[in-house]
């Protein structure tokens, strides 16, 4: 089993680049650059574009090409085909809501960081067997939230998490206070409503507020 990773950016560095990772669901390619620019204006560089829309791969390619200062990654990657499509689009990392052994294997063979998702100890142990120690915890609030991650830190202190799912301005500080949480993901900075009204300044405002709140 290959455990050595030949990744361009390592998860440890990604997790250290920003306490808040916006989880983006972008339906229209034309919205990609204004959204990414609005986040960059607030000094948020690590962006996750979920593969939940037909536009997602084009959105990733465009941001990768036009905004090299952004660290653009793909989200909702559930199999090795989507991991390869992410690489081809120019993603610098990939995040999965869960894991399969085949995806863990593909991640180890690939050249961009894979952050697998877990919500149970057995999944964590599978990830760990394949050499993954930076994981997404999803769906965070529904899976026990802060208390669950705190408890996992007992037997597995070396595993670092980026929890997502139900995280917002009201609870993000509680997560970030845990020693095994490096950053948190969430969709609240870029809601559908904001995108529909193309209120890009509001994205920068919310992002700055969020960063000030966790500093
Ligand atoms: C994810 O994919 O990480 C989640 O959908 C983000 O969850 P949220 O919408 O509750 O922030």
- The verdict on the CB of residue 185 being under 6 Å from ligand 1 is yes
- Is 211 inside any structural domain? no
- Is 50 inside any structural domain? yes
Determine the pLDDT at residue 2: 60
Residue span of the structural domain in which 74 resides: 11-206
150 is catalytic: no
Q: What percentage of the chain exceeds 70 in pLDDT?
A: 98
- Is 131 inside any structural domain? yes
Residue 206 pLDDT level (bands cut at 50, 70, 90): very high
Structure tokens at 172: 């993000």
- The verdict on the CB of residue 23 being under 6 Å from ligand 1 is yes
Q: Average the pLDDT over 101-121 and give the result.
A: 97
CA-CA-CA-CA torsion sign (148, 152, 154, 160): negative
DSSP for 100-149, please give it.
-HHHHHHHHHSSSEEE-EESSHHHHHHHHHTT--EEEETTTGGGTHHHHH
The string of pLDDT tens digits covering residues 14-42 is 999 999 999 999 999 999 999 999 999 99
Residues forming a β-bridge with 49: 24, 74
Residue 57 has pLDDT above 80, yes or no: yes
Q: Is 89:57 a contact under the CB 8 Å cutoff?
A: yes
- Is 30 inside any structural domain? yes
- Is 213 inside any structural domain? no
Measured distance CA(199)–CA(24) in Å, rounded:
15
- The verdict on the CB of residue 138 being under 6 Å from ligand 1 is yes
In this structure, the residue with its CA closest to atom 7 of ligand 1 is 165
Among candidate residues 30, 101, 123, 136, the one labeled active-site is 136
- Is 2 inside any structural domain? no
Determine the pLDDT at residue 117: 98
How many CA within 13 A on the CB side of residue 79?
A: 1
Structure tokens at 31: 């919205």
Residue 190 pLDDT level (bands cut at 50, 70, 90): very high
Measured distance CA(172)–CA(164) in Å, rounded:
10
30 is catalytic: no
Residue 5 pLDDT level (bands cut at 50, 70, 90): confident
The string of pLDDT tens digits covering residues 62-109 is 999 999 999 999 999 999 999 999 999 999 999 999 999 999 999 999
- The verdict on the CB of residue 164 being under 6 Å from ligand 1 is yes
Q: With b meaning 16 or more CB within 10 Å and e meaning fewer, what string describes 185-211?
A: bbbbbbeeebbeeeebebbbbbbeebb
Residue 1 has pLDDT above 80, yes or no: no
CATH code (residue 30): 3.20.20.70
Q: Is 181:14 a contact under the CB 8 Å cutoff?
A: no
- The verdict on the CB of residue 165 being under 6 Å from ligand 1 is yes
Residue 11 pLDDT level (bands cut at 50, 70, 90): very high
- The verdict on the CB of residue 98 being under 6 Å from ligand 1 is no
- Is 95 inside any structural domain? yes
Q: Average the pLDDT over 107-124 and give the result.
A: 97
Among candidate residues 5, 48, 92, 160, the one labeled active-site is 48
How far is the CA of 151 from the CAs of 30, 144, 147, 156, 209, in angstroms? 43, 10, 6, 9, 30
Measured distance CA(134)–CA(85) in Å, rounded:
22
Measured distance CA(136)–CA(186) in Å, rounded:
12
- Is 133 inside any structural domain? yes
Measured distance CA(133)–CA(135) in Å, rounded:
6
In this structure, the residue with its CA closest to atom 3 of ligand 1 is 164
Q: Per the structure, how many domains does the chain have?
A: 1
| Ligand 1 pocket mutation, candidates 98, 117, 165, 193, criterion most atoms within 8 A of CB | 165
Centre of ligand 1 from the C-alpha of residue 166, in Å? 7
Pairing outcome for strands 20-24 and 46-50:
parallel
72 vs 6, which has greater pLDDT? 72
Centre of ligand 1 from the C-alpha of residue 50, in Å? 10
């Amino acid at each position: 089993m290959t455990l050595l990773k030949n990744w361009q950016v390592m998860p440890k560095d990604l997790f250290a680049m920003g306490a808040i990772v916006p989880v983006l669901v972008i339906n229209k390619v034309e919205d990609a650059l204004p959204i990414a620019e609005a986040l960059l204006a607030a000094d948020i560089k690590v962006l996750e574009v979920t593969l939940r829309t037909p536009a997602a791969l084009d959105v990733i390619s465009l941001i990768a090409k036009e905004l090299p200062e952004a660290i653009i990654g793909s989200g909702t990657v559930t199999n090795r085909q989507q991991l390869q499509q992410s690489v081809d689009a120019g993603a610098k990392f990939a995040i999965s809501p869960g894991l399969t052994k085949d995806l863990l294997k593909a991640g180890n063979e690939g050249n961009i960081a894979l952050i697998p998702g877990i919500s149970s100890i057995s999944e964590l142990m599978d990830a760990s067997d394949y050499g993954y120690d930076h994981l997404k915890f999803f769906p965070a609030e529904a899976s026990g939230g802060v208390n669950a991650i705190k408890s996992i830190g007992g037997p597995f202190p070396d595993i670092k998490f980026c929890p997502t799912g139900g995280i917002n301005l009201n609870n993000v500080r509680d997560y970030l206070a845990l020693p095994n949480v490096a950053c948190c993901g969430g969709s609240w900075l870029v809601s559908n409503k904001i995108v529909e009204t193309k209120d890009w300044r509001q994205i920068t405002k919310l992002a700055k507020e969020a960063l000030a709140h966790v500093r």
